[in-house]
Structure 1
Amino acid sequence: MSESATVSRSVPLADGELSLQWSELTHRGRRREINQDAVLTLYPLFVVADGMGGHIGGEIASASAVDRLRAVAEKGDVSPKTIEKALARAVADIAGHPEATDEGTGTTVTGVYLDTTTPEPTWVTLNIGDSRVYLFRDGGLAQVTTDHSVVQELMAAGRLTPEEAENHPYGNVITRAVGPSDGVAPDYVRLDVVDGDRFVVCSDGLTKELTDYGILHFLLQHADPTDAADAMLEAALENGGRDNVTIVVLNVQRTVSSPTTD
């Protein structure tokens, strides 16, 4: 189903090497006329953006965010400072299309990047909105990012159960986005680099149709990132495909060099 195949890259480390494999896909879904999602997989940055806004406003917003972040990734200088500068430029880009955008136009920006500027490398997740980063580690799956949504705030306050949240009428309402009426500072989470880890970065078009258990199931079934992403997309479409669906699957293998002896 994917048009793109799995991409591989080796990253030298002070004590060994990282072998990364990843795949991306994006699909319009079965209900929407256009795809307002955008995706960026350019080492060391892996990002999904889910645009919102009437007509083509959401498409402009997500494309602007991804284009500005692509320039950061191409320079290889990915940090909170450069990410936030890029997103500020994206806000200006969005505002530069008054014929198609308004105060309700914006985009989620969610992803993960590899930080090798410190002696011990780390992953850093970033998030604005309700797209998500999941981490598969030691056979289990955990959501790393926290949704910026009305439903998430109600659950955090104890006023809504996860079961009630699934069909809540405000399920699509997010509380933060990259757009004219919001700031551009994501939440960040720093994670150790561990052999065998796998990341899933996705728009809510996937999580509306597939539970966390479903995502875990397809990761366990498919070691190859492209195969895993394809299987998740197929399940999301079979379950309704009510929204655009974008998925990035990233595999991490870490090898440590044996110390040499005289």
Structure 2
Amino acid sequence: MAPVELTWGAATATGQREDNQDRFLAEPPIFAVADGMGGHAGGAAAAEVVVQALKALTGSKTTTVQRIRLALQRADGEIRAFKGPGLGGAGTTVAGVALVDEGNGPQWAVFHVGDSRVYRWHDGQLEQISTDHSVVQELIDAGYISDEIAATHPQRHIITRALGVGARNEADIALLPVLPGDRLLACSDGLTGELGDERIAELVAVAGRPADLAEGLVAAADTTGARDNSTVVLVTVEPQRP
């Protein structure tokens, strides 16, 4: 496998909420965000379970799609087994990227459950790689509403898939090439609920360290009033050196 040089950063903010139920992981080869829900203690605990399950895959240059699936399945089962005050009905979304080697050289495995998102900055364009598991996304897919209407739809925060609650659903996982200069962004809906894709693109396009860009994204969400926790993890594939 050819060497891949990565730089990364992460940031999180509580916003107007009483506490922060988001959790993140930025440790090669895994970069992910989890957005807990279902009560203060339960939501935070559910997000932490997912992050710890993925953290078990770190410590090596790559992982595999199968290991990611198994880690998320274990986390799902552990959350469903929660017992105690404030833990009932807890769940979490998750979105992230992982450097994998499936036998064809380095690739990104993009994984997600729920409405936390993954974006890619490539050749001067921002592209949403994940597709929300949400009521409004189903309405968009069916042609009932537009993206513009979805941004203010009263059901925009209702998700159709999560870890720990509802039906047992697999994460969506897609493979992408690892390309020098690309930036991959994982974020909770606290960011995308405050900033449109155009504004996110402007902030991701700025030259600088991923850690500074991550802080800038969260700060921009905060300045709009940040009704929710906002969390981002940003990883850059550095250009290959001659």
Contact map agreement 2:61 2:99 (CA 8 A) in 1: no
Structure 2: which amino acid aligns with 1:19?
E
- Confirm or deny that 1:23 pairs with 2:4: no
1:131 corresponds in structure 2 to 116
C-alpha separation in 2, matches of 1:33 and 1:146? 29
- Confirm or deny that 1:167 pairs with 2:142: no
For structure 1, the 5+ residue unaligned runs are 1-12, 258-262
Shift of 1:184: 4.5
1:61 corresponds in structure 2 to 46
1:40 corresponds in structure 2 to 25
- Which segment drifts farther, 80-89 or 145-154? 80-89
Contact map agreement 1:43 1:73 (CA 8 A) in 2: yes
What secondary structure sits across from 2:5 in the alignment? strand
Give the TM-score normalised by structure 1. 0.86
- Confirm or deny that 1:244 pairs with 2:232: no
C-alpha separation in 2, matches of 1:75 and 1:178? 25
Relative to structure 1, the CA distance from residue 92 to residue 189 in structure 2 (aligned partners, 3 Å threshold; closer, same or farther) is closer
C-alpha separation in 2, matches of 1:141 and 1:217? 9
Contact map agreement 1:27 1:246 (CA 8 A) in 2: yes
1:6 corresponds in structure 2 to none
Shift of 1:180: 3.8
2:94 corresponds in structure 1 to 109
C-alpha separation in 2, matches of 1:53 and 1:76? 35
1:149 corresponds in structure 2 to 134
Structure 2: which amino acid aligns with 1:124?
A
Deviations 1:147-206 (A, max 9, x none): 000010001111011111111111110000001433251111111111110111100000
Where does 1:82-121 land on structure 2 (aligned, <5 Å)?
A: 82-99=67-84, 100-102=86-88, 104-121=89-106
What secondary structure sits across from 1:229 in the alignment? helix
Relative to structure 1, the CA distance from residue 54 to residue 252 in structure 2 (aligned partners, 3 Å threshold; closer, same or farther) is same
What secondary structure sits across from 1:73 in the alignment? coil
C-alpha separation in 2, matches of 1:187 and 1:72? 18
For structure 2, the 5+ residue unaligned runs are none
What secondary structure sits across from 2:44 in the alignment? helix
Structure 2: which amino acid aligns with 1:223?
G
C-alpha separation in 2, matches of 1:95 and 1:136? 35
Structure 2: which amino acid aligns with 1:36?
Q
Shift of 1:85: 2.0
**Once superposed, which parts of structure 1, at least 4 consecutive aligned residues long, lie more than 4 Å away?**
none
* Superposition RMSD in Å: 1.7
Decide which of 164, 173, 183 is 2:168's aligned counterpart: 183
2:220 corresponds in structure 1 to 235
C-alpha separation in 2, matches of 1:76 and 1:222? 26
